[in-house]
Amino acid sequence: MMRRSALFLGSVPVMKNLINGKLVESKATKFFDIYNPATGEVIAKTPQSTPEELHQALEGCVEAQKTWAEVSVPNRVRVMLNYQKLIRDHTDELAKLITMEQGKTLNDAAGDVFRGLEVVEHTASMGSLLMGETLENVSSHMDTYSFRYPLGVTAGICPFNFPAMCCLWMFPVAVTAGNSMLVKPSEKVPHTAMRLGELALEAGLPAGIVNMVHGGPDTVNFICDAEPIRAISFVGGNSAGDYIYQRGAANGKRVQANCGAKNHCIIMPDADKEQAINAVIGAACGACGQRCMALSVAILVGEAKEWLPEICAKAAELKPDVGTKNPPFGPIITKQARDRAIKLIDDSEKQGAKVLVDGRKCSVEGFPNGFWIGSSVVADVTTDMPCYQEELFAPVLAVITADSLDEGLDIISKNPYGNGAAIFTQSGAAARKFQHEVAAGQIGINVPIPVPLPMFSFTGSRKSFRGENHFYGKMGVNFYTDTKTIVSNWNPNNAKKSKVMTDFPIFKQ
C-alpha cells in the first residue's frame, strides 16, 4: 500500500494528487470540504490543484502513453486481470470508504464496487473488442482491412453518487485500449477513486497511465481546454454535462456525458402487485434516491391506482440510518442537496400535490447533524410541478395516474429525459408495446433498474446523454479508439498495366 493519500491542514487531512505513480502534496490555496454525510462533520479537504500541478499530471500522461500504446494487448489485459483480483480482495475496504464519504450503506457500497469490477473483468475481452475487419479481393489482388488504435490521452470527470463504479467505467476501458487517462475524482468523494488509483499501480499499471488530480470548475476547464486530451468521459448533472460537452467539443474533443434523468415506471393492473410495489419503492429509495437510474415517477394505470395505500405503507417502512448499520438507505450527500429536495416537495405541495409519506423532517437518533431525508411519496402530481420537472436525487416517489398504457407512454415521451423506464405487467403484448414505443434508452420489463452489464453499454438517450458513443462495452471501446482502414494492392501485373488515372477509381475486376 502506498503512503497515505492526504496531508493535514490543521486537524483536517487534505487529499494529495496522484501524479506519475506518486502521491504529491498540492500547493493549493483553495479547498473544498469533504463531509461524512451521516455526521455532518468535515472529514477532509479536496485541494484545487494549481495550474502547474495540472500541467505536470497531463505531461506525465502524454509521455507514459507513448510507451504504453506499444505494449501488446494481451499484456495490457494481464494488468487488468491483476487489477480485478485486487479490487475483489479490497472490496470491504473500498465499501467502507464509500460509506464514510458518500453515505451509502455498506451493502450498497459493495454493490457500487462490484458493478465497477464487472467492467474491469470485461476488459479481459479487449483482444476481441479491438479486432478490426477484413475483406479480401475488393478488387483483383486488392484487400481492405481495418485496425483500432488508441486515441492517446483521455480524461475522466467522476460523479459523487457512484465513487467506485463510474470511475471504473472510465479508465480501465481507456487504458486497456492503449490510452492514458487524467482522472478528476468528485471533489465531494475523492478517497475511493484515489484508492482505486493506488490499486491500479499495485496491479502493474505503469506510472503516468492513470494520473489523478483534484479540484472543481478550474480543473474541469483545464481538461476541456488542454490540447493533448483527445476525449472526455463525464457522469453528473445536466448543467455540468452540457457545459463540458459544449466546451470540450468546441476544442475538438470527443465527449461522452451521462447527465440527469427522470425515470418513469408504468404499473399495469395485471402486474404482480407485491413484486411491483417492492421493486418500485426499492428503486426509488435505494441509495437515498441518488442514482441516475432511480425510479422517481410511478404511473399507475387503471385499477392499479387502488394500490397507492400499499405503496405508501411500503415506503413508510424504510427508514434511513448510518450506512455502517446497513439500513435500507443512508443520508443524502450534503445539506444543500437535502434542502433542495425538500423545497421541491414544498413547492409541489403548494401547487396541489399531496405528500402521503413525508420524509422532510426526518432525523436519526444519535446523529443530529447528519444530512437526513426520509422516504416520501407525493401523489396527485402533475407534469408541471417542480417535483416532476426537476431531478430530485432524493428518496422521493412522485405518483401520477393514467387511464391506459397509451396515456402513460405519452407522459413519458413528453418528458425530456431518456435514461431509463420500466413497466410492470403480466401481459406480453403490453410489454412488447412498451419496449417498442417508450422514449428511453434502457428498458426494464418487470425490472426496476435496468442497468446493462458490461458486454452491453449504458445507453441513456435524449437529455440524459450527450455524445455519440456510450460508456463501456463495444461502444466504450469505440469511444476510446480511432479506426485506420487500409486498402492494399499487391497485383503482380501492376508494372505491365500501370498508367496514369485521373478518373475516380471504379473497381470492375
Q: What is the CA radius of gyration of the chain?
A: 25
CB 121 within 8 A of CB 84: yes
Exactly one of 292, 312, 362, 387 is catalytic; name it. 292
Report the C-alpha gap between 382 and 350 in whole angstroms.
12
Report the C-alpha gap between 489 and 269 in whole angstroms.
65
CB 267 within 8 A of CB 301: yes
CB 356 within 8 A of CB 314: no
Sequence-separated (6 or more) residues with CB below 8 Å from residue 116: 87, 162, 164, 165, 166, 167, 168, 169
Sequence-separated (6 or more) residues with CB below 8 Å from residue 205: 79, 83, 175
CB 474 within 8 A of CB 457: yes
Look up cell 415521451; give the residue.
Answer: 413
292 catalytic per annotation? yes
Strand order in the sheet with 254-258: 22-24, 17-19, 210-212, 180-184, 153-157, 229-235, 254-258, 465-466
Look up cell 480482495; give the residue.
Answer: 89
| Strand 210-212, strand 180-184: pairing | parallel
CB 266 within 8 A of CB 299: yes
**Sign of the alpha-carbon dihedral angle for 167, 172, 175, 179:** negative
CB 422 within 8 A of CB 448: yes
| Element (DSSP H or E) covering residue 235 | strand 229-235
From residue 483, alpha-carbon distances to 75, 112, 426 in Å are 21, 33, 45
From residue 231, alpha-carbon distances to 243, 313, 360, 485 in Å are 15, 47, 41, 21
CB 187 within 8 A of CB 47: no
Catalytic residues: 292
